[in-house]
Structure 1
Amino acid sequence: MKHTISLFLTLVAFWLLNSGHYSLLILSLGFASIALILVIAHKMDVVDHESQPIYLSRKIFGYYIWLIKEIIKANITVVKHIWLGEKSISPTLKAIKVSQKTDMGKVIYANSITLTPGTVAIDIVDNEITVHALLYKDIESLEIGEMDRRVTLLER
């Protein structure tokens, strides 16, 4: 039930932010369409802890701030190596162990790797993510595990 309420509140907020019109007719049509979506989602049985990860809502903003800082630092590093030329890069492909237990955690980790410039998560198999990095030091920093640790904390 809490997942359905979360979906309802998310859809209401999305509707109100995008609509920009608050007449009774528009609000009634918005409420009717949200109710229809909730009925369809309930009949399809798609509202669960994976589709509505409420447990992430409190912790995710701190992670976003940390990730944005890492993205900015990686952008600066990539630009520096573009200026230095191809002799300064060391492209590497390696499988990195992950400590996340849920599929959601593994996907957040893989997406975080891909969002960081200079690294791309290519594949997730069991408890490993295959990563391509522009610099070998990026692979080393992933092996140290700060990003992995922070994503694992989101899961709990």
Structure 2
Amino acid sequence: MLKKKTKTRDNVRAILTIITLFALWLLMSGIYKPLVVWLGFFSSVFAVYVMRRMDQAADAETMTIRLKPFQMVKYLLWLLVEIAKSNWAVTKTILSPAMPINQHMFDVPFTQSTDLGQTIFANSITLTPGTITVEVNENSFLVHALQYSDDDPVAIGDMDARVTKTEAVK
């Protein structure tokens, strides 16, 4: 009986999602020709179908996300400032007639104990303009920097410490 209720609830939720997506699509497209409306409807149905398939796959591999919310917000604000500063530095480099590029690849050790923490750290490096995480090793990332300086490992070490603070490990 419980399984039937859950299935009925999931079907009702899917139908409501289809209706919502279709209504948003109608409002945003502004085109009401029959063929286009049908395409919008079938797109909504297909999107819900894919979502449900992904949800079933995710249920098979659940992962608990443990982060400290305040530390995460603090880290994201710091990261936005760092991205803006590095954007400015890369822009100055590109617009400079001399184009002072000093490319370098270097290993960056990480201290995160969870896959999520390591992913956040690697993506944070890549989000920072002029740097990209190229490879993941057992205890470090291989990073490429467009403008390498001796301060880069220290700055990335600071980023590593900040990401580690966001982890709420048991």
Shared fold per TM-score greater than 0.5: yes
Q: Which residue of 1 aligns with 2:151?
A: 140
In the TM superposition, what is the alpha-carbon distance from 1:88 to its structure 2 partner?
A: 1.3
Aligned partners of 1:109 and 1:148: how far apart in 2? Answer: 6
In the TM superposition, what is the alpha-carbon distance from 1:99 to its structure 2 partner?
A: 1.0
Q: Which residue of 2 aligns with 1:45?
A: 60
Residue 82, structure 1, aligned to residue 110, structure 2: no
Q: Which amino acid aligns with 2:86?
A: A
**What residue ranges of structure 1 are gaps of 5+ in the alignment?**
1-10, 22-32
Residue 125, structure 1, aligned to residue 137, structure 2: yes
DSSP 3-state at the match of 1:56: coil
Q: Which runs of 4+ in 1 moved over 6 A?
A: 36-39
Q: Which residue of 2 aligns with 1:115?
A: 127
1:1-156 superposed matches below 5 A:
19=21, 40=56, 44-49=59-64, 53=65, 55-56=66-67, 58-59=69-70, 60-85=72-97, 87-137=99-149, 140-144=151-155, 145-156=157-168
Contact residue 63 and residue 150 of structure 1 kept, 8 A: yes
DSSP 3-state at the match of 1:130: strand
Q: Number of residue pairs matched?
A: 130
- Of structures 1 and 2, the larger Rg is shown by 2
Q: Structure 1-normalised TM-score?
A: 0.66
Q: Structure 2-normalised TM-score?
A: 0.62
Contact residue 75 and residue 117 of structure 1 kept, 8 A: yes
Contact residue 67 and residue 112 of structure 1 kept, 8 A: yes
Q: Sequence identity of aligned pairs in percent?
A: 34
